[in-house]
Structure 1
Amino acid sequence: MTVATEYSLKNLVFYFLKLGTIGFGGPVALVGYMHRDLVEKRAWITEDDYREGMALSQLAPGPLAAQLAIYIGFVHYRLWGATLAGLAFVLPSFLMVLALGFVYVRYQGISWIQSVFYGVGAAVIGIIAVSAYRLTRKSIGKDYYLWFTYLVAAATTVITETEHIGLFIGSGIFYWLVKSSIWLKPGAGTATKFIFPAFLQVNVSMGDHEKLGEIFLFFTKAGAFVFGSGLAIVPFLYGGVVKEYGWLSEQEFMDAVAVAMITPGPVVITVGFIGYLAAGFPGAAVSSFATFFPCYLLTVIPAPYFRKYGRRPGIKAFVDGITAAAIGAIAGAVVVLGQRSVKDIPAVLICLAVITLLMFKKKVQEPFIILAAAVLGLLIKAWV
């Protein structure tokens, strides 16, 4: 078994502060960065720990990248590590969307954001495509059964344009059954037992006519009951923020999603921008806390069980199956997002240039790529 290199909690916190500040590309790219930096380059986290974190992040509702960051913090520094890693990861992008929210309200919209997003969106697809490729190559290997679950998950994501928790669980059970028939001993039944904690919904009584109360309740539901990556929360937010409560107009909501995509860190930080437009700084703070706190609890509560039982053969097979499906869903998400962001020849050229650059020049930093793409987007839109 691979042994992790020693590191301090301070080192980990600074890493997630940096990732939250310059980590562009959304959840797909962010989980790829964590694997590249913490597993491959620095060896702070073992491959098994990373896979367990990915599996738990896919099983529990909430934003994928934030949950994985919280779990990685928990691995060696338990509750303090999980708390500080999660805060460090989310805080930079929260401050950025606050600043953008202030500018947006003062100047009545951000007309240039669509031009920036044109270039950034194409570059982001290139970044996450390379991340998905590297994750696939590292985690799937030559196991035909894992390739089967990977391809099924990828195809399902492309066809339905969403991620399915049942598919992840089914993939874990499928691979566990396959491995059981190959090498698990008849008497190993007790080793395959796993307890999934039951999570209770807490009802908070707040005045229906208080906007902050409504914001708290709505975003708590968004954080606690929406499965998949941070992108999966967007349809849920649209239904509540625009259709049900009318806090934002259609255009304001689309601008909020664009802001989340062009800022680093978790895509779910769009909730901070939405909260700011709905109720100023208090709205931003309440919506962000209400979204991220449930995913924090849904990570740290079951984490000890994963740490305790995750090394057992049956559980490891279950986790490997889920991980293969999760990476397949990430690969499928690249296709889905690419269809929306890469629509014409200039965007295709930007995307292909980024893929080529990252494949052959591994030392190129993503923030410089994003900056160059943003400038290109502005120039192309201005020229058109």
Structure 2
Amino acid sequence: MTGVDADVRNPAPNGVQAYPSLAEATMVWARIAALSFGGPAGQIAVMHRILVEEKRWLGDDRFLHALNFCMLLPGPEAQQLATYVGWLMHGVRGALVAGLLFIAPGVFAIMALSWVYAALGDVGLIAGLFFGLKAAVLAIVVQAVVRVGRRALKNRAMQAIALASFVAIFLLGAPFPAIVLAAALIGWAGALAGLAAFRPGGGHGAVGKRHVADGQSLLGEEHIERGHAAARGVFIAGIGALALWLAPVTALVLLAPGSVFADIAVFFSKLAVLTFGGAYAVLAWVAQEAVGTYGWLAPGEMLDGLGMAETTPGPLIMVLQFVGFMGAFREAGWAMPLVAGTVGGLLATWVTFAPCFAWIFLGAPWMERLRKNTALSAALTAVTAAVVGVILNLAIWFAMHVIWREVVAWQAGPLMLDLPVLHSIDWAAAVLSAFALAVVFRLKLGMVAVLGGAAGMGVVLHILGLA
């Protein structure tokens, strides 16, 4: 099962093939990649507008089915959604084109910004620029909580799952994979029990204002089933992606144990396997481990990296390239730290995204055969609700490290959390964060305006000696 082949394309009324060629699709995927700002919510909205509403290459139901599956996978759901749709349309080649183009702009942009940051990040206007970006990023993460919550928390059951998820990770330090598994099991059991809250339509709402049925799109139901030879081909592609991912990890563990490169390879490989629910959920774990456990960068620098990812096209999870860069830049011990950082950043990117292709190649054919399974749909919906609680935890974590200069750990029995030291408040950061929140929620300005305005104000505050 490798997607839509030439023999199943839909002819136009004049007999000309209306189904897009791979070359035409490549141009569209490049356009989507260039417009993929604003994190997963914005990127998914761009894909829906272009693929469903404008091109009508697939319908709403098919798009949401693919999105639900990608929300359940570890890693960045927007990039995996592009890979899934690319596979549906043009098989393995289409998946590679869509998936690689989606991340290419971010790889080059984040690497360039990482070089600038490593050389000049603590100097003059650069420091003010990133000071402003931190406030904008905080507003964007809070906005993500609201947007995803409105879409996912359609009833009290979903709201309860989100609340339980937040309490588990914020107060109890529960591992995110366990939270996702518990939510999926609750959704699955609720559907099998016939509870109304877990029936189809109880989770995701429509993505976009205009509904396009599968029958109105070029990728209709007749394109679901494929022959066994094609299925073997996509399975082999999945195994190949796994091998390309694990080969450098194994080599580094065996040949350079204890090095920062081995640590990067192993840590980000764990992320690729164990972090579910998209980029915002991944960041909660990265912030905890990269800052607290490995000491690769400070909490403020984590926010700087997120600001880079928010201001460049591509997946928000591309911030991991910055984390890998800074870790190797400081820990490798090379005479050329920028070269070490480049290797570390590219290694982090490789082990983060190579598994994404494997998950799609190995899982998408199976998911296509289970499109009508209501229990699976309910499990996916419950996972999305749990992710809302995780993103809320991330928003609070960011707020504490942006607005206060000092944070202390507090524990009482099973309860453990970080608390800000109140007298260490950074009033400039607090005012700028409040301004960014007002711009996002009251003025409803776009992502570029919010990030650019906050960055400019950060520079001004730095010049005035207030930041």
TM-score by length of 2: 0.62
Q: Aligned residue for 1:52?
A: 65
Q: Aligned residue for 2:215?
A: none
User: Aligned letter for 2:318?
Assistant: I
Give me the whole-angstrom Cα distance separating, in 2, the residues matched to 1:257 and 1:292.
18
Q: Aligned residue for 1:286?
A: 347
Shift of 1:300: 1.8
Residue pair 1:55, 1:323 contacting (<8 A) in 2 also: yes
Q: How has the CA–CA distance of structure 1 residues 301 and 100 changed in structure 2, closer, same or farther, with 3 Å as cutoff?
A: same
Match of 1:321 among 378, 403, 415: 378
Q: Which moved more, 1:338-347 or 1:28-37?
A: 338-347
Match of 1:151 among 159, 184, 195: 159
Q: Aligned residue for 1:267?
A: 316
Q: Aligned residue for 1:219?
A: 268
Q: Aligned residue for 1:367?
A: 448
Aligned residues: 351
Residue pair 1:71, 1:303 contacting (<8 A) in 2 also: yes
Match of 1:68 among 81, 85, 91: 81
Shift of 1:305: 0.8
Q: Trace 1:1-384 onto structure 2 (pairs within 5 A).
A: 6-109=19-122, 110-121=126-137, 123-125=139-141, 128=144, 131-132=147-148, 135=151, 147-159=155-167, 160-161=169-170, 164-178=180-194, 204-205=250-251, 206-207=254-255, 208-209=257-258, 211-238=260-287, 241-242=290-291, 245-248=294-297, 252-277=301-326, 278=328, 279-310=340-371, 312=372, 315=373, 317-329=374-386, 331-332=388-389, 335-339=392-396, 340-341=398-399, 344=430, 347-356=433-442, 358=444, 366-379=447-460, 384=466
**Superimposed CA distance per residue, residues 339-361 of structure 1 (whole angstroms, 9 cap, x where no aligned partner):** 44597565345434434555xxx
**Bigger share in helix:** 1
Residue pair 1:256, 1:270 contacting (<8 A) in 2 also: yes
TM-score by length of 1: 0.74
Residue pair 2:132, 2:432 contacting (<8 A) in 1 also: no
Q: How has the CA–CA distance of structure 1 residues 276 and 268 changed in structure 2, closer, same or farther, with 3 Å as cutoff?
A: same
CA RMSD of aligned residues (A): 3.9
SS of match in other structure, 1:112: helix
Give me the whole-angstrom Cα distance separating, in 2, the residues matched to 1:370 and 1:165.
35
Give me the whole-angstrom Cα distance separating, in 2, the residues matched to 1:104 and 1:300.
36
Q: Aligned residue for 2:409?
A: none
- More contact order relative to length (CA 8 Å, sep ≥ 6): 1
**Structure 2, unaligned runs of 5 or more:** 1-9, 11-17, 171-175, 200-234, 329-339, 404-429
**Structure 1, unaligned runs of 5 or more:** 141-145, 184-196, 359-363
Residue pair 1:118, 1:377 contacting (<8 A) in 2 also: no
Shift of 1:122: 5.1
Residue pair 1:26, 1:261 contacting (<8 A) in 2 also: yes
Residue pair 2:268, 2:351 contacting (<8 A) in 1 also: yes
Q: How has the CA–CA distance of structure 1 residues 126 and 274 changed in structure 2, closer, same or farther, with 3 Å as cutoff?
A: closer
Shift of 1:325: 2.8
Residue pair 1:35, 1:50 contacting (<8 A) in 2 also: yes
Shift of 1:289: 0.5
Shift of 1:16: 4.2
**Superimposed CA distance per residue, residues 40-93 of structure 1 (whole angstroms, 9 cap, x where no aligned partner):** 454333222222222322332222222222222222222122211111111111
Give me the whole-angstrom Cα distance separating, in 2, the residues matched to 1:72 and 1:336.
31
User: Aligned letter for 2:71?
Assistant: Q
Shift of 1:272: 1.3
Give me the whole-angstrom Cα distance separating, in 1, the residues matched to 2:325 and 2:292.
18
Shift of 1:157: 4.0
